[in-house]
Amino acid sequence: MTHRHPQHYEERGLSQLPVIVGMGGVNAAGRTSGHQAFRRTILDALPDTLQAQTILALAAMMQLVTRLEDGAWQDAHGEILDAADVVSRYRQHVLDHTLIRRIEDERFGSEGIPANRAAQLDLDDALTFRVRRRQLPNDLPPTWQVRDIDKRMVEVVVPPGSLNVLLPERRSAQVRSAGQLPSGFAPETLYRSVHHPRGLSMTIFGASDCLGQSGLDWSALRNRLDPDAIAVYAGNSIGQLDNEGWGGLLQSFVGGGRATSKQMPLGYGQMPADFLNAYVLGSVGATGAVLGACASFLYNLRLGLEDIRSGRRRVVMVGTSDAPITPEIVEGFRTMGALADDESLKALDALTLLTDSDYQRACRPFARNCGFTIAESTQFLLLMDDALALETGAQILGAVPDVFVNADGWKRSISAPGIGNYITLAKSVSLARDMLGEDSVRHRSYLHAHGTSTPKNRTTESHVFDMVARTHGIEAWPVAAIKAFVGHSQGGAAGDQLASALGTFAHGVIPGIATLDAVADDVHAERLRFFRDPLPFEADATFINAKGFGGNNATGLVISPAATERLLAKRHGQRAVDDWKHRREATLAASQTYLETADSGRFEVTYRFGEGVLEGPELSMTRDALHIPGFDRPVSLTVDNPYGQL
């Protein structure tokens, strides 16, 4: 069913404006809600009180300290500290164990990655060994002689000749830097996770963080709408490839293990959406995921925008959750020549040994660089149509009028750059110019670059930016490249960028490219503004850019809260906006309560396993409506017929 626009929209030929009413997640910089992760990327530019608040909240998140009921803090040794003591004692630890850094997974350490090497043994004499009966192959080679020793053990004699074996070994990790979640933060410990892949545990946290930050009562919001007026579009670019997902499944035979009943279903790339519907939101509305490599977040966002603009849905949660820091995925990208491996980093700076500080500088967008830095992240947005946002008193963190997607056309290779990104960015800027005016685009907009830190990207993406800037008369377009801090989270990359953009709108500062010692000679920088230190900037709009592997290009236009309010006043009238601000007070108070709790390291994660389960017989149906227990309103079964009648 199409959920109709308000009458004045139809009369004026306008669409609903998709606005952002909630955000949540976590990446290497910290928690998304309350702009915690954003503040970590501009830490030195913040006032002292806000710096201390950020460090304190991160220390709690990283389980370095626990807040007591009287407001004091206790560390792991039981010592009681005040807030100032916590900041003084743990500041450097927080700085060293957030953002890009040396990989902390022991598999990437000095002992090396567990592996096997195929070998052929030439036996001059018979080989005799003992083994447990259950460890014997199902199909024994016909030349093997097996003798029972007892109920559990057997003796095997292998005659002289050739024997194929796998010899266990440890392989040194060739890539040792990544954008990991803050040390000590374990999303799987916050709820009853049972063999959940890391990406799905991150999904549960990210969506819960989004709902908490929104300040909205989800049950009340859901019950005021047709259940089919809600949608969820969430996924990732690769699927779940750790041991609890498809990684463990695919390794089971070769590694001598056993597949579990959960590895196959939990590995699917759309599983974040499935988890949200089943365990967080209880939604029966539209669902799905679009996989578009590094542009996946924007692809899913586009689905949500189209639903809201058309009136098909009124509330949509969109997002991604990627956890690709596994030896196999890292090795796959390394063999492509895409990652900044240790040897390349040494060569880049003429070093013989890499230190922790060198790993922290691994990602260098638009500078002399040698490859991207892999990362994990989960990011979610809660979207509404603007009429419902005003009606419910929701926060409005910004608006996303559109996301443009174009392919590259004919390509030299599947990984080579192409022309699609010129189209997506140019369309986004044209829309911003039409909505906000040329002055806003020229002087109060900035770019959130894909900025991967590969030599190819720095040239091709900067040329896209340069051509569009010249076309629109932009002389010094500021460029942010958030991957310098948090790395490249694959399908979630644009989510990291968008979360950062919302932070810029709130704080009036664009993060600098901290690893940019100098702009590389092959960067088209004449009309672009690159900077290392945070830049004070009052933005009306930003352009979230993604250049995905295989030609998956996307650019999203995001409008600031202030500019959105001006649009709302024009669309609905100033009185409607004033009434909304009054209703919003309760929402802001609820959001602040959640943020204060989260800053103390206590997270209210929603995970409702087995609650309210319905299988069909509980429903009641008429020709026009389906009634679902637990929902105040029925699902309308009246649908539009755009094709006419015989």
Residues designated catalytic: 294, 450, 488
**Cα 115 from Cα 254, distance rounded (Å):** 11
Q: Using the Cα atoms of residue 500, residue 505, residue 507 and residue 510 in order, give the sign of their dihedral.
A: positive
- E strands, 357-505, are 377-385, 398-406, 445-448, 477-480
**Cα 323 from Cα 325, distance rounded (Å):** 6
> Which of 91, 155, 151 lies closest to 126, judged by CA?
155
Q: For the residues of 471-494, what is the DSSP string, one character each?
A: HTT-SSEEEE-THHHH-B-GGGHH
Contact 101, 93 (CB under 8 A): no
Contact 602, 411 (CB under 8 A): no
**Cα 206 from Cα 622, distance rounded (Å):** 38
Contact 165, 129 (CB under 8 A): no
**Cα 385 from Cα 307, distance rounded (Å):** 10
Q: For the residues of 97-131, what is the DSSP string, one character each?
A: TSSEEE--SGGGSTT-EEEEEEEEEEESS-EEEEE
Contact 425, 589 (CB under 8 A): no
Tokens of 597: 């709790």
- Which residues, 6+ apart, have CB-to-CB distance to 114 below 8 Å? 107, 168, 170
